[in-house]
Amino acid sequence: MSNLKIYNTLAREKQSFKPIDAGKVRMYVCGMTVYDYCHVGHGRMLMAFDVIYRWLKASGYDVRYARNITDIDDKIIKRAVENNETIGQLTGRFIKYMEEDCAALGILEPTDVPKATQYVPQMLGIIEKLEAKDLAYKAADGDVNYAVRQFEGYGKLSGKSLDDLRAGERVDVNTGKRDPLDFVLWKSAKESEPEEVKWDSKWGKGRPGWHIECSAMSCALLGETFDIHGGGADLQFPHHENEIAQSEGASGKTLANYWIHNGFVRVDGEKMSKSLGNFFTIREVLKQFDAEVVRFFILRAHYRSPLNYSDVHLDDARGALNRLYTALDGVEGDGQPLDWNEDNAKRFAEAMDDDFNTPIAVSVLFDLASEINKTKSPVAVRQLKGLAAVLGLLERSPEEYRKAAPQGAAGEGMDEAAIEAAIATRAAAKKSRDFATADKVRADLLAAGIVLEDKPDGTTNWRRA
């Protein structure tokens, strides 16, 4: 297996990775709440754990990867009521959109994609255990709450002290709570809510709180203790802290041995989020940029570092990806499988084993591209394509990449036959020394998003801008 080291948020340091069961990894990641389109910040989270999943598999591990779907919560209910549709109609539509976005970005399907609504019995089972241990209580308003101060380890993930957590900062002040820090496990049903969000329980009709959903799904699928738990940095507190309190309070066992959190996407120095209104959906971005460019843009930053979103940075990523594809143009590999004992592969593996350091791994790809440009080495071609594929890159031919268009891009409506016909018209005009027509054809193609690549013997290639 590998020499992998992971930055463990719980320990606040890089640690050597040792799975519970040799050769096997169980990983749970908090996924999407499906009431709206995924934005680039969500894409960053999905991509971070896709790369981790890919590297664990490339390292020889048998990986069971669960990434949940939250298909019941306050925002979902509110949006469905506003739209005058059922919860299932709303969530079904946005699950489909999420799957389309993931497919476009080359994100592999996890082994398990549980929906919260499928695990309500397991949630109720955990709450009953907590109540039996005096870690949960039914309040006067009908909600069942978690008694935070009764759990000795609360705050160990986020490093927050109970005394520092004042009411109103991070938790809703609720008169039904014994302590303002307590959080809801089971929400008592309200008359105004749709019937489809009301489940029977020993405490009366209601629905689960957000935090208990992930405790139930992760433990049901991966066991009461598993290897890796992940999600965005914004989930560290209170969501993941509350998951630990619930799961470990009920089982008496460690929930996860390694906690991984990806950094934020920022726009003008602020976190990209729906609440700030500064988000760009994945679908919007894919209308302007090829999906592989977006993937490459995200991979060039370390998963824990902030990622600054702008068209300028995406344009730069497109230019860099162009250089990799250009190096492969017209040069074939030697047909052999990737050899991890070769120097470049070793450097790539060392980078990925160092807390999934994709920026260094990508630099190895550029070193190989430079070597190909100089020597046309079939071995270097094989290494470049093989290592890039581990990251989900360079899996098209250079020609396919060149001629692909983002949805809604300027050149998308112009088919290849029309482009080739225009190139032929320009060649004929140049041959007859009608340079004005030749220049106009080139300018018209450029206006349509088509860039010609000329050499002394004529136009050799074209690509979409």
Q: What's the rounded Cα separation, in Å, for the pair 348 and 458?
A: 39
Q: Decide: 405 and 463 in contact? Cβ < 8 Å.
A: no
Q: What is the largest CA-CA distance in the chain?
A: 91
Is position 214 annotated in a ligand binding site? yes
Q: What's the rounded Cα separation, in Å, for the pair 300 and 44?
A: 11
Work out whether strand 144-146 and strand 183-188 pair parallel, antiparallel, or are unpaired.
antiparallel
User: What are the residues whose beta carbons fall under 8 Å from the beta carbon of 68, sequence distance 6 or more?
Assistant: 28, 29, 30, 31, 113, 114, 115, 116, 213, 214, 217, 218
Name the one residue in this structure whose structure tokens are 């690549």. 453
User: What are the residues whose beta carbons fall under 8 Å from the beta carbon of 339, sequence distance 6 or more?
Assistant: 345
- Which residues are bridge partners to 28 per DSSP? 66, 229
Whether residue 238 is preceded by a cis peptide bond, meaning omega within 30 degrees of 0, is yes
Is position 302 annotated in a ligand binding site? no
- Locate 392 and state its tokens: 């989900």
The per-type count for the chain, helices as H runs and strands as E runs, is 15, 15
Is position 30 annotated in a ligand binding site? yes
Is position 99 annotated in a ligand binding site? no
Work out whether strand 256-262 and strand 226-232 pair parallel, antiparallel, or are unpaired.
parallel
Whether residue 337 is preceded by a cis peptide bond, meaning omega within 30 degrees of 0, is no
- Locate 285 and state its tokens: 């971005």
Residue 392's identity, in one-letter code, is G
> What DSSP character marks residue 264?
P
- Locate 283 and state its tokens: 């679908």
First to last CA, the chain: 42
Closest CA to 4 of 60, 50, 48: 60
Phi, psi angles (nearest 5°) of residue 392: 75, 30
- Locate 314 and state its tokens: 């995406």
Is position 102 annotated in a ligand binding site? no
Name the strand (E) or helix (H) holding 384.
helix 378-390
> What DSSP character marks residue 239?
I
Name the one residue in this structure whose structure tokens are 């394509």. 385
Q: Decide: 391 and 361 in contact? Cβ < 8 Å.
A: yes
User: What are the residues whose beta carbons fall under 8 Å from the beta carbon of 193, sequence distance 6 or more?
Assistant: 77, 207
Binding site for ATP, by residue number, is 274
Q: Extract the annotated binding site.
A: 30, 214, 239, 243, 274
Which residues fall in the annotated binding site for Zn(2+)?
30, 214, 239, 243
